[in-house]
A and B are shown apart, each in its own frame.
Chain A
Amino acid sequence: MNQEDLANIASQTRESDSHYDHVVKVCVAAGCLSANSDQVKTQLESEIKQRGLETCCKVKGVGCMGLCAAGPLVSADANDRMFQNVSPADAAAIINCVVENKPAPPAIVMDSKIDFFARQEKIVLENCGEIDPERIEDYIASDGYEALFHVITKLKPLGVIEQVTKSGLRGRGGAGFPTGLKWTTVFKAAGQRKYVICNADEGDPGAFMDRSVLESDPHRVLEGMAIAGYAVGADKGFIYCRAEYPLAVKRLRTAIRQAENHGLLGMNIGDTHFDFKIEVRLGAGAFVCGEETALIASIEGGRGTPRPRPPFPAQEGLWGAPTLINNVETFANIPPIIRRGGEWFASIGTEKSKGTKVFALAGRVKNTGLIEVPMGMTLREIIFKLGGGIPEGRRFKAVQSGGPSGGCVPEQYLDIPVDYDSLASVGSIMGSGGMIVMDESSCMVDVARFFMEFCMSESCGKCVPCRVGTTQMHGILQRITEGKSEEHDLELLQRLTGMVRSASLCGLGQTAPNPTLTTLRYFMDEYRAHIEEGRCPAGVCHPVKAEAEVIA
Chain B
Amino acid sequence: MVTTAKTISPPSDDKRWKIVEGMMRRHGYEPYALIEVLHTVQETFGFLTDEGLRYVAVTLRVPYSKVYGVATFYHFFSMKPPGKHTCVVCTGTACYIKGAPVLLNAVKDVAGINEGETTLDGKLSLLTARCLGSCGLAPAVVYDGQVGAKVTSESIRRRVHEYLESESEAEVQEAGK
Contact = CB atoms under 8 A, between A and B. Distances in A.
A205 B98 CA distance: 13
A284 B135 contact: no
Contacts of A204: 131
Contacts of B92: 205-206
B64 interface: no
Interface in B34-54: 34-36, 38-39
A244 B137 contact: no
A281 interface: yes
A202 B133 CA distance: 9
A304 B74 contact: yes
A285 B137 contact: no
Interface string B68-86: 0110011111000000000
A349 interface: no
Contacts of A287: 130
A267 interface: no
B135 A362 contact: yes
B153 interface: no
Interface stretch (A15-23, A29-37, A54-62): A29-37
Contact of A362 (B39, B73, B138, B146): B138
A15 to B, nearest CB: 36
Contacts of B149: 34-35
Given A206-B92, A363-B93, A403-B93, A244 B129 contact: yes
B133 A298 contact: no
B130 A454 contact: yes
Interface in A421-442: 434, 436, 438, 441-442
A303 B63 CA distance: 13
A30 B36 CA distance: 23
A71 interface: yes
A286 interface: yes
A35 B140 CA distance: 12
Nearest to B30: A301
A211 B131 CA distance: 12
A34 B137 contact: yes
Contacts of A312: none
Contacts of A454: 130
B19 interface: no
A187 interface: no
Given A34-B147, A282-B36, A245 B73 contact: no
Contacts of B98: 363-364
B66 interface: yes
A165 interface: no
Contacts of A302: 34, 66, 70
A400 B94 CA distance: 10
Contacts of B32: 299-301
Nearest to B137: A31
Interface in B72-129: 73-77, 91-94, 96-98, 129
Assign chain B's interface to a size class: 35 or more
Contacts, number: 138
B93 A368 contact: no
B135 A360 contact: yes
A218 B85 CA distance: 32
Max chain A CB contacts within 10 Å: which of B98, B132, B135?
B135
Contacts of A244: 76, 129-133
A244 B140 CA distance: 14
A34 B96 CA distance: 20
A447 interface: yes
Max chain B CB contacts within 10 Å: which of A284, A286, A447?
A284
A207 interface: yes
A138 B6 CA distance: 44
Contacts of B146: 34
Interface string A255-285: 0000000000000000000000000011111
B136 interface: yes
A69 to B, nearest CB: 5
A307 B69 CA distance: 17
Given A34-B147, A35-B149, A436-B94, A243 B133 contact: no
Contacts of B91: 205
A338 to B, nearest CB: 29
B77 to A, nearest CB: 6
A74 B12 CA distance: 50
Contacts of A368: 94, 135-136, 138
Nearest to A453: B91
B33 interface: yes
Contacts of B135: 68, 206-208, 360, 362-363, 368, 434, 436
B134 interface: yes
Contacts of A441: 97
A442 B96 CA distance: 10
A454 B32 CA distance: 28
A133 interface: no
B31 interface: yes
B134 to A, nearest CB: 6
B42 to A, nearest CB: 9
A277 to B, nearest CB: 14
A211 B133 contact: yes
Nearest to A515: B93
A34 B94 CA distance: 17
A289 B65 CA distance: 21
Given A34-B140, A442-B97, 19 more contacts: A31-B136, A205-B131, A206-B93, A206-B135, A208-B133, A244-B133, A245-B133, A281-B36, A282-B39, A283-B76, A285-B76, A286-B73, A287-B130, A362-B93, A363-B93, A363-B138, A368-B138, A400-B93, A434-B135
23 contacts: A30-B147, A34-B140, A34-B148, A35-B137, A205-B91, A207-B135, A244-B130, A245-B133, A282-B35, A284-B38, A284-B75, A286-B75, A303-B73, A360-B135, A360-B136, A362-B93, A362-B94, A362-B136, A362-B138, A363-B93, A370-B136, A442-B97, A450-B96
The 5 A-B pairs with the shortest beta carbon distances in the complex, nearest first, are A68-B136, A205-B92, A284-B74, A285-B76, A34-B147
